Amino acid sequence: MSRPLNLEEVGRRAGVSRSTVSRVVNGGSHVSSETKRRVEAVIAETGYRPHAAARSLASNSTGVIGLVIPSAVATLFDDPYFGRLILGISSATNDVSMTLALFLFGDGPDESSIISRVVTPGLVDGVIVTATTRGDPLIDHMQGTSMPFVVVGRPDNAGSTFCVDVDNRAGARTAALHLAGLGRRRPALIAAPSNTTAGVDRRNGFLEGLAEAGLSVESRISEGDWSQESGRRAMDRLLAERPDAVFVASDRMAVGALRAIREAGLDCPGDISVVSFDGIVPPDLTAPRLTSVVQPVTEVGERAVRLLTTVIGGASTPEHVVFPTELAVRESCGATPAAEPER
Amino acid sequence: MSRPLNLEEVGRRAGVSRSTVSRVVNGGSHVSSETKRRVEAVIAETGYRPHAAARSLASNSTGVIGLVIPSAVATLFDDPYFGRLILGISSATNDVSMTLALFLFGDGPDESSIISRVVTPGLVDGVIVTATTRGDPLIDHMQGTSMPFVVVGRPDNAGSTFCVDVDNRAGARTAALHLAGLGRRRPALIAAPSNTTAGVDRRNGFLEGLAEAGLSVESRISEGDWSQESGRRAMDRLLAERPDAVFVASDRMAVGALRAIREAGLDCPGDISVVSFDGIVPPDLTAPRLTSVVQPVTEVGERAVRLLTTVIGGASTPEHVVFPTELAVRESCGATPAAEPER
DNA sequence: GCCTCTCCTGGGAGCGCTCCCAACAATAGA
DNA sequence: TCTATTGTTGGGAGCGCTCCCAGGAGAGGC
């Protein structure tokens, strides 16, 4: 009974050949129903499962997709963003019975070894790359290989890649118009790092929206690094400029900004109206609750998987999927939520 | 030039056989330095990488370990716990040049399909299972297979499994003694779900510590579900009992509890001293900053990988690794941090 | 009764690797 | 000079699967 449990063995027990068992396992077409029944009985009884590596080798397809999250990982996981993204991706891979392989790397020597591991033939069928910084060498590297991949976010040279992003620019513009609509006249901006495309898009969108409303940030602008602490410091600096509103390019930085406002003895939204971006920090975590531009992170992840499967399937003309954002009006901006059917 | 790039082809170009190239790729012993040099040159020039599936099939080892996180995933990712755990695991798999496969499942029909996918032969070499609930059927299922696995957390039937856990009981006991040492006499408990071993251990440890100090919770006990909102409701209920201290079995619930205290017009730590468990919420997120029993989540993850590699290597006598916790004294308990060299 | 067409089934070849054994050359020892 | 030993190399076998082709059985048309 120590015979290995493979197709041949299952076939032997069911009185058929390896090939017939294989056909049953793969959907059962071109097999008589009687034979199929018998083979399935043996499979159920023995608990046979096809050997993944053998299957990958023979079919040249692994059923695994990789998710690459580069650099600065330690800080990234304090941000719920990646958790949500992984959730969406995982849910989509489950739907199509694929497995998710996670490639996280901090900076350092392991970076290059992981990059090359990602493109190892026979390991994954395709890769989802999260592009956080501009000019990320990872994207260039991927383009130099034949590994199918899609980018979550907007790389600089987006033209030639498949990518899934949210409309950061439009979302930020909406935030500007919302603040202007509330009668605020001295808006400030706590921007996200300008070496990320998301940071640039949010900044530009906000400035664009202000311009449309006849407003400007003038010198009321400061840049954070996504962290809560950086938001707090940025707000501290801005307070000297006496702003009556601030758009913070991420929820986490906004939490820090709220703290700075409170510690300066000012009131939000009374003295300063706050709108943030992400919609990812649980609203009840802050007081007042944050009004923010919500991006559909989980959907982005799901969509990235679906897009990747088409690339694996042979799609070759780059496709850019852009999700809209939605403004969730709560207390921090000073508007009465119910009175605001914003878009 | 459309010849497939495999061992044979690399060998052909370097004027040696498939076997010799294989030896070079795998460390280069029993190969003359001259030959080795030539082969390495060809590898560098062609960018050859061995085919993972073929290697797995031939060597019966995939270089992949699976991480299984069962049920209720959606809520879990709002908790930094799993992010940290993944970080530790990922860092350890990188160190040993292995790949991490993530199996997340919500409840529902996909649950059983994923469970069986995890034990597919030739997919992963071993699995790390996070045991959140007592009597988790997943553990039993894994024991019925020959797949090597280790559990993060303490399953009910821990005796027969390899596991890595933190000393929840001792940590909670420390919290009790700390509160007692501050002179609090009406301690309350916001417990974690009693269908989890961590919840049970933290509850028992806290009660044990109180007993040692001659105190008791009497009816000042309420159970949450790990969520912030449940912590808030639990605290609300407990306020009627006029406690002067509360131990909250998780950081997230503690954030909710602080909110309830504030909303009731009471002061923490003035009226109520708060100590929580996890040490995972960034201290600056709350005011006052939380005193909490810190568990070394990342280290647990790293250790789980190392333990799993020994199981894959053939270790057979169950090993239980238990990490100590450490009390981080901040403002919410009312002690002066510097004055407290707690253990 | 013969040929064709369809349906089902079996087995060869091959995916790219590892493992093992045999062969060979060069060197040392007797 | 012959044998033993070591270091290096090549190739067969096999991992478990998929893909493809060929062959047999049965049904139907002439």
B97 and A113: CB-CB below 8 Å?
yes
Q: Do the domains B64-166+297-325 and B168-295+327-339 sit in the same CATH topology, yes or no?
A: yes
**Among partner residues A51, A74, A114, which is closest to B94 by beta-carbon distance?**
A114
Residue A152 pLDDT exceeds 80? yes
Q: What is the pLDDT of residue A138?
A: 86
Residue pair A278/A250 in contact (Cβ under 8 Å)? The answer is yes
Residue pair A68/A102 in contact (Cβ under 8 Å)? The answer is no
**What are the pLDDT digits (tens) for A224-239?**
998 889 999 999 999 9
A64 and B259: CB-CB below 8 Å?
no
Token pair listed for A32: 């008589």
In degrees, to the nearest 5, what angle opens at C-alpha B65 toward C-alphas B138 and A125? 110
Between positions 233 and 272 of A, the ones with CB within 8 A of B are 255-256, 259
Residues 6+ away with beta carbon under 8 Å from B70: B105, B111, B129, B130, B132, B136, B138
A77 and B99: CB-CB below 8 Å?
no
Q: Is the CB of A7 under 7 A from strand C?
A: no
CATH architecture of B168-295+327-339: 3-Layer(aba) Sandwich (3.40)
Straight-line distance from CA B56 to C1' C18, in Å?
9
Straight-line distance from CA B298 to C1' D7, in Å?
47
Would you kindly state where each structural domain of chain B is located, as residue ranges?
7-50, 64-166+297-325, 168-295+327-339
Topology, domain B7-50: 434 Repressor (Amino-terminal Domain) (1.10.260)
Topology, domain B64-166+297-325: Rossmann fold (3.40.50)
Q: Is the CB of A292 under 7 A from strand C?
A: no
Straight-line distance from CA A34 to C1' D27, in Å?
19
Q: Which of B43, B48, B57 best tests the A interface by mutation, with the highest count of A CBs <10 A? A: B57
A106 and B91: CB-CB below 8 Å?
yes
Q: Is the CB of A30 under 7 A from strand C?
A: yes
Question: Phi and psi at residue B244, in whole multiples of 5°?
Answer: -110, 5
pLDDT in tens, chain B (343 residues): 568 999 999 999 999 999 999 999 999 888 999 999 999 999 999 999 999 999 999 999 999 999 999 865 556 667 788 888 999 999 999 999 999 999 998 766 667 778 889 999 999 999 999 977 888 888 888 998 999 999 999 988 777 899 999 999 999 999 999 999 999 999 999 999 999 999 999 999 999 999 999 999 999 999 999 988 999 999 999 999 999 999 999 999 999 999 999 999 999 999 999 999 999 988 877 889 999 999 999 999 999 999 999 999 999 899 999 999 999 999 999 886 544 444 4
Residue A342 pLDDT exceeds 60? no
Q: What is the pLDDT of residue B119?
A: 94
Q: Chain A contact for B57, CB < 8 A? A: yes
Q: Chain A contact for B25, CB < 8 A? A: no
User: Hey, how many other C-beta atoms are within 10 angstroms of the C-beta on B222?
Assistant: 23
Token pair listed for A197: 């495309």
Query: Which residue in chain A has the smallest CA separation from B111?
Result: A94
Q: Chain A contact for B223, CB < 8 A? A: no
Q: What is the pLDDT of residue B72?
A: 58
In degrees, to the nearest 5, what angle opens at C-alpha B116 toward C-alphas B112 and B122? 160
| Chain A residues lying within 8 Å of B114, measured CB to CB | 94
Residue pair B169/B146 in contact (Cβ under 8 Å)? The answer is no
Confidence of residue A337 (pLDDT cuts 50, 70, 90): low
**Which residues from the 27-46 window of protein chain B have CB within 7 angstroms of nucleic acid chain D?**
30-36
**Among partner residues B87, B113, B120, which is closest to A52 by beta-carbon distance?**
B120
Going across the sheet that includes B99-105, the strands are A320-323, A162-166, A149-152, A126-130, A64-70, A99-105, B99-105, B64-70, B126-130, B149-152, B162-166, B320-323
The CATH number of the structural domain formed by A64-166+297-324 is 3.40.50.2300
